[in-house]
A and B are shown apart, each in its own frame.
Chain A
Amino acid sequence: MAEQDFEAPLSELQKTLDELARFPGDPVKTREATRVRQQLDQQRREVFAALTPWQKTQVARHPSRPYLLDYVQALCTDWVEIHGDRLFGDDPALICGLARFRGEAVVVLGHQKGRDTKQKIRRNFGMPKPEGYRKALRAMQMAEKFGRPILSFVDTPGAYPGLDAEERGQAEAIARNLREMARLRVPIVVTVTGEGGSGGALAIAVGDRINMLEHSVYSVISPEGCASILWRDAGRAEDAATAMKITGRDLLSFGVVDEVVAEPPGGAHADPEALFESLGTLLDRQLGELRKLSPEALIEARYDKFRRMGQLGREFLDRAV
């Protein structure tokens, strides 16, 4: 993916900076470099604080953004990936495994995209098939069996819309996950790290806490898809992205998400270590809160959470009253 429009002034400054860095012994150039670096930091902060929903979509899809395995490596130890749904196959677009998070054994799962062409194809661009969702359910039910909390990471354009996926029951696989996640007796913490692409995202996103990274998006359909249907012009994706209210801040106000995790200036990929640090602290706190609840209280609270999505007097009215 090419650099985004809003990054153009930044890359100009970056080029100047790179140029100046070629003269490390020159005091004038070094002073100049310090000035330019400050200017760049300042400008980057401003640009990323004012991103539009469509620009956030671009950042959410940025090919350098951390993916599931990056989070696992940064936040966990003792990672053991597990494979297969025991029914058909193993889906590399949705990864599950055992790991320790801050010493506690947990089950981690999430979508995985690829960085180079070969990996993109192997990971099917992060679009799972039914076997991916069924593997995830198997992993989550194993977590329940052994009383292990679940950390779920969401980053997908959507469930794969292909012939084989339909034949094997894509809709059924997603639906079953929604129903079963609602009654799992262990804590589930969900973080949307990039693209929260409709049912394919939701199928691993029914949880007790739903987080979104600052520049991630979560939507019922992609902005391009929405634009091509409602505007009959995929070029109107920017308008669709705005109209559908897909950012963390919007969804916080609707009660769809609980926390928005601030990203470093320039986005998660500009300073992943800083992001891992703050996300790790948040997940640790949330697991701590949830650990105090009995399984019954946990399930009850999870039900109420989703039951309230769409409230009387706010999102709908009752004319009969």
Chain B
Amino acid sequence: MAWFRRDNTPLTSSEQASRVPEGLWIKCGSCKDVLYRKDVLKNQSVCAKCGFHFRITARERLALLFDDGRYEELDAGLVSADPLAFKDTKAYAARLKDGLQKTGSPDALVSGFGKMETMPIVIAAMEYGFIGGSMGVVVGEKVTRAVERALAEKAPLIVISCSGGARMMEGTLSLMQMAKISAALARLDSAGIPFVSVLTDPTTGGVTASFAMLGDLNVAEPGALIGFAGPRVIEQTIRQKLPAGFQRSEFLLEHGMLDLIVDRREMRETLARCLRMLRGQ
């Protein structure tokens, strides 16, 4: 099953449109309006006209949620040892280097401990710019450690997903991260500590089929692609075009897979409010 987005191909127009492009003036990927770039960034990378959510980085995510954008970064030094010595048309080691250069992070997840509306909290965010946000051993380890830190601190956990799924270049070890993280979440669940999963565009494959669907609350940004199999794989299987809006946040909400869809600009306040109530505060 192709769980993975191509990371070695040029971005498709829709992918390009989903990030805030460079330049003084930019065009919204949805309403096509021309916007002043600085205004968009000030608006948490959401189009003020139509509400389109541009994709943002893991560090931007953490900065938006933690009080004053400040947090203790966790496990920042973890890097893949390329356990399979994997090579396709390009060596995996070189892809890892490219990812570091492109994102400033040694793998596809940044996690931190800090406060959100004064509440101690662990937050992890996936970095789509690093090999499609794919989950290998480092992502698996960092999420698991984030869960274990939340357990130790008795603090709630938020994981913000943005991923094409498991990372092929680390083979079956990548697949096993799904089980490793889910087992840790079982402990958090038994301990009665809240876990909120935030799903952003796109969240597919092994990430959806493990921690992203296991929140006490599953929360998505509007219009995010969320699914198990990618749309192309499904189209190949059923040999027909998928209906518009299939596998988007609104579709998942309608089918009972999400608790709520929240605009990025209201995310922090909404999450904090829910977590306080879950904790009886």
- Does residue B189 face the partner (Cβ distance < 8 Å to A)? yes
Interface contact B1-A163, CB-CB below 8 Å: no
A155–chain B nearest beta-carbon distance, Å: 16
A220 at the interface (CB under 8 A from B): yes
In the complex, are the beta carbons of B1 and A161 less than 8 A apart?
yes
- Give Cα A72–Cα B14 distance, bound, in whole angstroms: 50
B76 neighbours in A (Cβ, 8 Å) = 320
Chain A, range 223-249, C-beta contacts under 8 Å to B = 225-226, 228-232, 239-240, 243-246
Q: Is B13 an interface residue (CB 8 A)?
A: no
Residue B176 lies at the interface, judged by CB distance under 8 Å to chain A = yes
- B4 contacts A315, CB within 8 Å? no
Residue of A nearest to B230 (CB): A161
The yes or no answer to A1 lying at the interface (CB within 8 A) is no
For residue B116, CB closer than 8 A to chain A, the reply is no
Given contacts A174-B228, A309-B173, contact A166 B179 (CB under 8 A): no
Chain B residue at smallest Cβ distance from A175: B213
| Contact A229 B209, beta carbon cutoff 8 Å | no
CA distance A303 to B242 in the complex (A): 39
Q: Within the assembled complex, what's the spacing in Å between the Cα atoms of A170 and B210?
A: 11
Shortest CB-to-CB span from A22 to chain B, Å, is 47
Q: Which residues of the partner chain B approach A319 to less than 8 Å between Cβ atoms?
A: 77-79, 106
Chain A residue nearest to B73 in the complex (CB) = A320
A22 to B5 alpha-carbon distance, docked (Å): 57
Question: Shortest CB–CB separation between residue B253 and chain A, in angstroms?
Answer: 12
Interface band, chain A: 35 or more
B168 in contact with A220 (CB, 8 Å):
yes
- Least CB distance from B227 to A in Å reads 5
> Are A198 and B175 touching (Cβ within 8 A)?
yes
| Cβ of B138 under 8 Å from chain A | yes
- Chain B positions within 8 Å of A225 at CB level: 1-2
Q: Return the chain B residue nearest A178 by Cβ.
A: B182
CA of A166 to CA of B166, assembled, Å: 18
Contact B176 A309 (CB under 8 A): yes
| A105–B113 alpha-carbon span in the complex (Å) | 48
Known: A171-B208, A229-B2, A254-B173. A320 touches B187 (CB 8 A): no
Residues on A with beta carbons closer than 8 Å to the beta carbon of B77 = 317-321
Is the pair A256, B228 in contact by a Cβ cutoff of 8 Å?
A: no
**A window 175-208: CB within 8 A of B:** 175-176, 178-180, 182-183, 196-200, 202-203, 205-206
> Is the Cβ of A245 less than 8 Å from the Cβ of B177?
no
Given A198-B3, A310-B140: A226 touches B168 (CB 8 Å cut-off): yes
| B25 CB–A CB distance under 8 Å | no
Quick check: is A140 within 8 A (CB to CB) of the other chain? no
- Tell me if A135 counts as interface (CB < 8 A to partner B): no
Residue from the list B75, B81, B171 in contact with A245, Cβ < 8 A = B171
Q: Are B177 and A170 in touch, CB under 8 angstroms? A: no
- Cα A289 to Cα B213 in complex, Å, equals 34
Say if the beta carbon of B280 comes within 8 Å of chain A. no
Q: Does A167 lie within 8 Å of B4, measured CB to CB?
A: no
Complex interface: chain A residues within 8 A of B178 (CB): 175, 178, 199, 202
Q: A179-B185, A220-B174, A244-B172 are in contact. Are A171 and B78 (CB under 8 A)?
A: no
B42 within 8 A of A: no
Which B87-122 residues have a C-beta within 8 angstroms of A?
87-89, 106
Kindly supply a per-residue 1/0 record for chain A positions 151-171, scoring 1 wherever the CB is within 8 Å of any chain B CB and 0 otherwise. Answer: 000000011111101111111
A303 touches B79 (CB 8 A): no
Asked if B180 and A306 make an inter-chain contact with CB atoms under 8 angstroms apart, the answer reads: yes
In the complex, are the beta carbons of B228 and A251 less than 8 A apart? no
Return chain B residues, CB-CB under 8 Å to A12: none
Is A314 in the interface zone, CB < 8 Å from B?
yes
Does any Cβ of B come within 8 Å of A218's Cβ?
yes
Closest A residue by C-beta to B76? A320
| 22 A-B contact pairs sorted by A residue (CB < 8 Å) | A158-B1, A162-B237, A162-B238, A169-B213, A171-B212, A171-B227, A175-B182, A175-B211, A182-B183, A196-B172, A199-B3, A205-B179, A220-B206, A232-B6, A232-B9, A239-B88, A244-B84, A244-B168, A307-B180, A310-B140, A310-B176, A315-B83
